[in-house]
Amino acid sequence: MGSHSNAAPVIIKKKKVIAAGGHHGGAWKVAYADFVTAMMAFFMLMWLLNATTEKQRKGIADYFNPNVPINRISGGGDAMFGGDSVFAKDVLAKNGVGGMPKIDGLDGPEGRAKSREPETAAESKRFEKVQDFLVGNGGESLISENAMKHVVTKLTDEGLVIELFDLEGLPLFVEGEDTPNPELESLIRLVVAAAKKVGNHVAVAGHLRSEPVVIAQSKVWMLSSMRADKVRRLLVAEGLEASRVDRVTGHADRDLVDDDPRSLRNNRIEIILLRETGN
């Protein structure tokens, strides 16, 4: 009978080590973070473009380009536009023409813009007085309470916009025609009285809501133009000098103010007292 050993058997484990294992480094995290940051900046830019006015965008452009004298149209350095902003389209075409004096040692667009700033501020003050006269901010309005529901005024870079629009059951024109209702005729008389407070030229723009898709032949272009021209004739008939009317345009349904294309709010007439300075 052979001898027995009480010793436990020896088990040998072999571990395979992969030199290039693990998470393969962290460089991808840096690239991903850069991508997310760029996307965030992009969406912030898109939001700013949609949520700000033209004046605010000019101010932002000036803030990030402080190496040129800051004024209402500056916005670039000495690179592509030679110090002129892309917003200065009305000034770029006049470079080198002359006729404007140097202001504080500045010539070109910067000097001309500075020379217009006091005039622009004074003109805005005059427009504000017209607004107060028309809608009675802080005082008695020329327009009755019911008529006021048809009116919105706003001060823009183009000038003072007096917007007259349809209400449910109270349209300014006969449906589908350029025949004015009495409410519009009353409003036109008051607009003329307000416009006589200043000597600025006038623009008239007609806007309409979209027609149903079942309409075979859309008439929004023709009708918006006809209504704008009808308002021009009413303005002149009420005493506005015909020479003050610079343009009459029909915009059809291409510039909606209500997200619902069929909303009556999109049926409107804009009478604009145009800025005279800076032209």
Structural domains of the chain, ranges and CATH numbers in brackets: 27-114 (no CATH), 142-274 (3.30.1330.60)
Contact status, residue 71 vs residue 86, Cβ threshold 8 Å = no
* pLDDT of 75 higher than 80: no
Q: Which residue bears the tokens 């350095």? A: 77
Q: Which helix (H) or strand (E) holds 273?
A: strand 268-274
pTM: 0.56
Of 185, 171, 154, nearest in space to 263 by CA: 171
**What are 276's two structure tokens?**
């005279």
Average pLDDT across the chain, whole number: 76
277 pLDDT band (50/70/90 cuts)? low
Q: What is the pLDDT of residue 216?
A: 66
Contact status, residue 210 vs residue 262, Cβ threshold 8 Å = yes
* pLDDT of 112 higher than 80: no
Q: What is the pLDDT of residue 242?
A: 94
Q: What is the pLDDT of residue 18?
A: 57
pLDDT tens digits for range 78-101: 444 455 554 444 444 444 444 444
* pLDDT of 102 higher than 50: no
Of 274 and 212, more confident: 274
Q: What is the pLDDT of residue 5?
A: 56
* pLDDT of 231 higher than 90: yes
Q: Using CA of residue 48, residue 51, residue 54, residue 60, what is the dihedral sign?
A: negative
Q: What is the pLDDT of residue 180?
A: 95
Contact status, residue 164 vs residue 172, Cβ threshold 8 Å = yes
Q: How many angstroms from the chain centroid is the CA of residue 188?
A: 26
7 pLDDT band (50/70/90 cuts)? low
Of 159, 166, 171, 148, nearest in space to 257 by CA: 166
137 pLDDT band (50/70/90 cuts)? very low
Q: Which residues of 62-97 are buried (b: 16+ CB within 10 A; e: fewer)?
A: beebeebeebbbbbbeeeeeebbbebbeebbeeeee
Q: What is the pLDDT of residue 131?
A: 84
* pLDDT of 199 higher than 80: yes
